[in-house]
Structure 1
């Protein structure tokens, strides 16, 4: 029995439409999400900073519409000026005085020191925290998990650990939210470094292994090639 004359043509048109649609999703999806996150951050900072600025200095007071990002600019200039002043002798003296006052507050003291240490570690230009990715056997021998390698223990903590060729602190993120997980010390000899960037490892964890390193670009290229082949077939 001969197939219907338009059957194959209909299947080809449907495949082309599907390829076009998937290519559009792959291209527009990341752009839309990035734009949404940027817009959310701008509005969040504006909501924090604008109420602190006198209305006479806000351009929104003289314009019939609101200017997004003005609060973000003020925050950037303010933080830059704060860093400049802190680098001076007077600024360092005021900073030490403020920390001395906070050091006398039982609850606030621990909170401030902990948050300060986290910020200093994350934004340190010479630090090595979370710049390497490794593998450890967790939760059982023979089962490997991705970890972010942090700094080794020091001080009294390192002195009280049993000798095992040195220890390394690692953070094991959870799927699909890599901001939560487990932090523990493991013998350095049991950590296997892998040639992955932190971004690639985070994508692998958040996608539960669906997005392999370098695979996202390959998928996008494959969809683009399919769309080009379909256009060439139409032209022929």
Structure 2
């Protein structure tokens, strides 16, 4: 029965994020369609999609201006003063930021000695260590994310001395392909001709 449990859990890991994403997207569009149907005399297929895309771009544009940043900062302070809501909002915001900036985060491919010396594993350099973490080390350390093969959504974050990192001159796409295909596709040089 262990195989049944293993495959059941693996199936859930694949299906749940897809299902949640589909539910959120469908509900956003259904809600938008409902509002547009009530307040606009004109209706055509794809109107909700166009409105949602325009709204997202408009909010992104607003958030990049000084006055809007102040307003958003004030709203975040208000939300941050509510105990349970603060935890939920901060968690969702951090996850969203990580997901939408993951393309930038997984740019710097490196080799590191992991899981033990003498072995090298491909990983990606993460942002600089925060002051409380950096203060724990006598020399410069770096956070490296080591993704699991076939599944970029899980892996390990290790803190390793900068001197032990071997930078790779490979494209981020090919490094990701290497991980996703469990080494079937080898990383390619940054030079597009190679």
Judge same fold: TM > 0.5, yes or no.
yes
**What corresponds to 2:73 in structure 1?**
96
**What corresponds to 1:136 in structure 2?**
112
**What corresponds to 1:205 in structure 2?**
179
Unaligned residue ranges in structure 1 (runs of 5+): 1-40, 61-66, 215-236
Q: 1:46–1:70: 8 Å Cα contact kept in structure 2?
A: no
Query: Normalization by structure 1: what TM-score?
Result: 0.58
Count of residues in correspondence between the two structures: 163
* Matches of 1:198 and 1:97, distance apart in 2: 37
**What corresponds to 1:159 in structure 2?**
135
> Which one of the candidate residues 119, 122, 126 is aligned to 1:150?
126
**What corresponds to 1:59 in structure 2?**
43
Q: CA offsets, 1:81-130, max 9 Å, x none?
A: 22333345653343233212211122332332344345556667xx9633
Query: Normalization by structure 2: what TM-score?
Result: 0.69
Highest Rg: 1 or 2? 1
* RMSD between superposed Cα atoms in Å: 3.0
Q: Which one has a larger percent strand, Structure 1 or Structure 2?
A: 2
**What corresponds to 1:81 in structure 2?**
58
* Matches of 2:99 and 2:176, distance apart in 1: 16
* Matches of 1:173 and 1:141, distance apart in 2: 18
Q: How far off its partner does 1:45 sit?
A: 3.6
Q: Which has the higher contact order (CA 8 A, sep 6+)?
A: 1
* Matches of 1:144 and 1:98, distance apart in 2: 46
